[in-house]
Structure 1
Amino acid sequence: MPTKPTRPRPRNIELLSTLPTEIRNQVERVEALRAKNFRGPEYELLADELFRYAYAPLMAKMGSGEIAALAGDSATPLALSPDEFQTLRSSQADRDELAVHTIAAALQTFRRRALDEGLWRPEENLGQGGRPASLETYFFRLCLMVFPREMWRWRAEREDRFARTANRLSPHYVRHRLGYETSSAPGGEVGALCDGVLMLLESASERERAVVALTLDGHSAGEIADLLKLTVSTVESVLYRFRRKARGWRRRGGLRLSSEMRAHALQTKRTAAGDH
């Protein structure tokens, strides 16, 4: 059942008359929308204008990393990890997803606070530098206010996606992907290698484990990027860091390749050298 228009307290006509013409026109537009219960094509047009106004700045602030500081006044605490900063800088798809969800949430808050409750009162609540805040400026502040909540949602969905894939990395799965089919845990060189790989994976992040699991399945970097909603460059970077970590463990004796695998690696190097 449609809700009835609310009746915010009367506006101060004297203060309204001191506003710049552009802001007064926006106030009149909002009052006209309130008379129509904020429904119909006029409201949809305003929502579309606000979406287009906020989208590009949100994308830019996420890409530059400024978004965390700008959202500092939100009631929801926000601290981005270095990995998240890197993801937002490099992944347009993630920025787009966050921007769209943030604006959609901000529009709901905007309708309730600025329109239904009449809390956008530029004649009384001055903005930066003592200037009255435009409707667009007010809306962008709402976007910054709700962004941390959307960031938490995005983070939880992302971690769930990584965890579902990473949880497949059981000892049996690792042994199977390394080419060893045994009914019991292998011993000797094979056992040492499997134990080393498992220890290395235990210290990895969920994202690293998910990328490694899909790599062991034989997926390409592009396929992994599609499955985990990452960029190809991010997948390649994760694999590069993991392989570098594995080489360090191997030098320190944490990973010991079987004689068969060492022979295969030596033959591969010789073949590659012969090709050149």
Structure 2
Amino acid sequence: MFENDLCREAWPILRGMLREGRLPRIALKRCQERGMPFWVHPDDMALLRSSPVARDEILVDVLMRALKSFRRKALVEGGWNPDYRGGRGASCLTTYFVGQCIWEFRRVYTTWAKNRQRWAELHTLYDGSEETARENPKLFGRLLAAGYLSEPEAAVLSTNFADILIEQPAVTQAVISLTIEGYDDTDIADELNITHAAVRMRKTRFRKALYDAARERRIWIPEQLHTKAGTRRTQRGAA
């Protein structure tokens, strides 16, 4: 239970550090001091400072990895000592955990940056045509145009829904398309080579945009994306 509290306390601290660019800079400095190869692309640095979505996306994985290493290093191996009497004294548990998150940033960022590059390349290759999807079913089979889907799914991917979806990053489009097709989070994560946490975060972000549009009676939210019975009732009333 205390780990949930730890994450809640660390989240705004880490978000602020990313927004200010301090988290990557500290991680880079630590790696340089220990001779560990690490580099953050300036474009990625700018994105993490400007985009709340990008910050949340990378922090989800940072926290998941940090929790695992925190349990081992701080609790099992005794890396955190509340009775430490060194020059700076003992750090509080939250400070220790934030430090662990900074250590995990290197691995998480490297994976995140590679996936971003991969999806950007795929998105550039895909021109939205059925011909391209047919020629590359392994890569683009999940991003076929609405007319290529079955009738219920085609109805879901109406103009308004598609307008909202097309504004999202390519990987988010793939997550939502797979969700509509009935895939669960585990299958989606495996299919797209991303973490379960990243799948949930992208769906949560997209739901908010959809719920706003549903309240304005512009779209109908697919059954697979419902999370609350109240949402269904609200939609029925709007219809």
What TM-score do the two structures reach when normalised by structure 2? 0.51
Equivalent residue for 2:30?
Answer: 73
Tell me, yes or no, if the aligned pair for 2:69 and 2:100 is still in contact at 8 Å. Answer: yes
In structure 2, the CA distance between the partners of 1:61 and 1:78, relative to structure 1 (3 Å rule), is: farther
Tell me, yes or no, if the aligned pair for 1:102 and 1:146 is still in contact at 8 Å. Answer: yes
Equivalent residue for 1:130?
Answer: 88
Equivalent residue for 2:108?
Answer: 150
Give the match's secondary structure for 2:168.
Answer: helix
Equivalent residue for 1:225?
Answer: 167
Which of 22, 40, 43 is residue 83 of structure 1 equivalent to? 43
Question: What is the deviation of 1:229?
Answer: 6.1
Give the match's secondary structure for 1:130.
Answer: coil
Equivalent residue for 1:61?
Answer: 17
Partner Cα separation in structure 1 for residue 96 and residue 12 of structure 2: 16
What TM-score do the two structures reach when normalised by structure 1? 0.44
Partner Cα separation in structure 2 for residue 223 and residue 90 of structure 1: 21
Deviation digits for residues 104-145 of structure 1 (CA, Å, limit 9, x no counterpart): 11010000111111221243474xx62211111111100001
**What code does the residue aligned with 2:90 have?**
P
Number of corresponding residues:
140
Matches within 5 A, 1:245-260: none
Question: What is the deviation of 1:227?
Answer: 3.7
Question: What is the deviation of 1:223?
Answer: 4.6
Percent identity over the alignment?
A: 29
In structure 2, the CA distance between the partners of 1:102 and 1:125, relative to structure 1 (3 Å rule), is: farther
Tell me, yes or no, if the aligned pair for 2:73 and 2:79 is still in contact at 8 Å. Answer: yes
5+ long unaligned stretches in structure 1: 1-44, 177-219, 231-276
Which of 65, 68, 77 is residue 105 of structure 1 equivalent to? 65
Deviation digits for residues 142-180 of structure 1 (CA, Å, limit 9, x no counterpart): 0001011111111111111111122347xxx9xx9xxxx
- Say what the alpha-carbon RMSD is for the aligned residues: 3.2
